[in-house]
Amino acid sequence: MEIIVTSSALAQHLATLRQHGKKIGFVPTMGALHEGHISLIQEAKSITDIVVCSIFVNPTQFNDPKDLEKYPRPIERDKALLIAAECDVLFLPEVSVMYPENDPHWEIDLGDLDKIWEGKHRPGHFQGVTQIVYKLFQLVKPDIAFFGQKDFQQVMVIQRMIDEMKLAVQLHIVPTLRDANGLALSSRNARLSARGIEKAYTLSKALRYIEQHAHEKEVHTVIEEARLMIENVTGFELEYLAICETHSLEPITKVDDEKEYVVLVAAWLEGVRLIDNMLVH
């Protein structure tokens, strides 16, 4: 695995590969890798020739400086996982590489996508996400970029950015990887106690309940029942829970059996903010 830390070295390395007709797959991450990230690497390896993974803890997408400070950075473990997964290139830039002096101001029209759900609770977050992903796309110039379904709203935001900026990159969404009990794998899970992990299973149970009953009950009824499942577990503080259109993420009040929807949830547990989602067919 090539480990590259500068943008010029990355551009040079990838340009050579492109000259040989190699298709480039890209997996952007903030490190603290787990099996969910590795599933993205494996998916990329199955349909592209060269897989580039970036590890960069992006300061512009954190609303709370303490959250940025606490974000785990087990870089040696991350490298070992990527080598084991046979990743081809690791791009590991410093902040000064991605945000040089006199960096132009970034603002992109995301419609309502950065005003609802995650956008509402984390103002400015998606501007920071699109800013860094755009920068990385410009450097890597991938044919296909791979993202996990777990960050569903983020994926919709990035697709909007691709459309707005007319970028020649295809977005490939990989299903959420879950543990044996259904908990979505996340770097943040490491901050939960063993008891917290047990409680966290409630989120996926509530999503599964909605997925199973959305076509047979009123939307407000099934949402209320799932909300109580979560709030009856001591320690949970629910931020939002809704059935939404998959692209606009607008909440719905009635299910159309011909359409696909997504259930979105965010909740706090033991000072850790957990998000998850599930598609409703």
Does 121 share its domain with 29? Answer: yes
Residue 62 belongs to some domain of the structure: yes
Active site residue 37: yes
Burial of 104 (0-12, 13-18, 19+ CB in 10 A): exposed
Residue 281 belongs to some domain of the structure: no
Share of the chain above pLDDT 90, in %: 94
pLDDT tens, residue by residue, 69-111: 888 899 999 999 999 999 999 999 999 999 999 999 999 999 9
Please, what is the average pLDDT of the chain? 96
Domain termination residue (choose one: 134, 151, 174) = 174
Does 239 share its domain with 129? Answer: no
Q: CB neighbours of 155 closer than 8 A, spacing ≥ 6?
A: 147, 148, 149, 171, 173
Does 126 share its domain with 102? Answer: yes
Name the token pair of 73. Answer: 């950075």
Residue 7 belongs to some domain of the structure: yes
> Side chain identity at 143, as an amino acid letter?
D
Can you give the pLDDT at residue 80?
A: 98
Does 168 share its domain with 219? Answer: no
Give the model's confidence band at 40: pLDDT under 50 very low, under 70 low, under 90 confident, else very high. very high
Can you give the pLDDT at residue 63?
A: 83
Half-sphere exposure at residue 201, Cβ-oriented, CA atoms within 13 angstroms: 9
Can you give the pLDDT at residue 152?
A: 97
Count the domains in the chain: 2
Mean pLDDT to the nearest integer, 21-35: 96
Domain termination residue (choose one: 139, 174, 209) = 174
Does 154 share its domain with 260? Answer: no
Catalytic residue among 34, 37, 213, 281: 37
Residue 194 belongs to some domain of the structure: yes
Q: Is the pLDDT of residue 253 over 90?
A: yes
Domain termination residue (choose one: 127, 143, 174) = 174
Does 141 share its domain with 18? Answer: yes
Does 168 share its domain with 201? Answer: no
Does 146 share its domain with 258? Answer: no
Does 168 share its domain with 82? Answer: yes
pLDDT tens, residue by residue, 132-173: 999 999 999 999 999 999 999 999 999 999 999 999 999 999
Does 156 share its domain with 235? Answer: no
Residue 32 belongs to some domain of the structure: yes
Q: Is the pLDDT of residue 250 over 90?
A: yes
Give the model's confidence band at 64: pLDDT under 50 very low, under 70 low, under 90 confident, else very high. confident
Can you give the pLDDT at residue 255?
A: 95
Can you give the pLDDT at residue 70?
A: 83
Burial of 199 (0-12, 13-18, 19+ CB in 10 A): middle
Residue 182 belongs to some domain of the structure: no
Q: How far apart, in whole angstroms, are the C-alpha atoms of residue 266 and residue 263?
A: 10
Distances (CA, A) of 42 to 36, 46, 81, 190, 250: 10, 6, 12, 23, 32
Can you give the pLDDT at residue 162?
A: 98
Can you give the pLDDT at residue 187?
A: 85
Residue 97 belongs to some domain of the structure: yes
Q: Residue 26 maps to which CATH number?
A: 3.40.50.620
Does 270 share its domain with 216? Answer: yes
Q: Residue 236 maps to which CATH number?
A: 3.30.1300.10
Does 162 share its domain with 191? Answer: no
Residue 87 belongs to some domain of the structure: yes
pLDDT tens, residue by residue, 161-219: 999 999 999 999 999 999 999 999 998 898 999 999 999 999 999 999 999 999 999 99
Boundaries of domain holding 237? 187-276
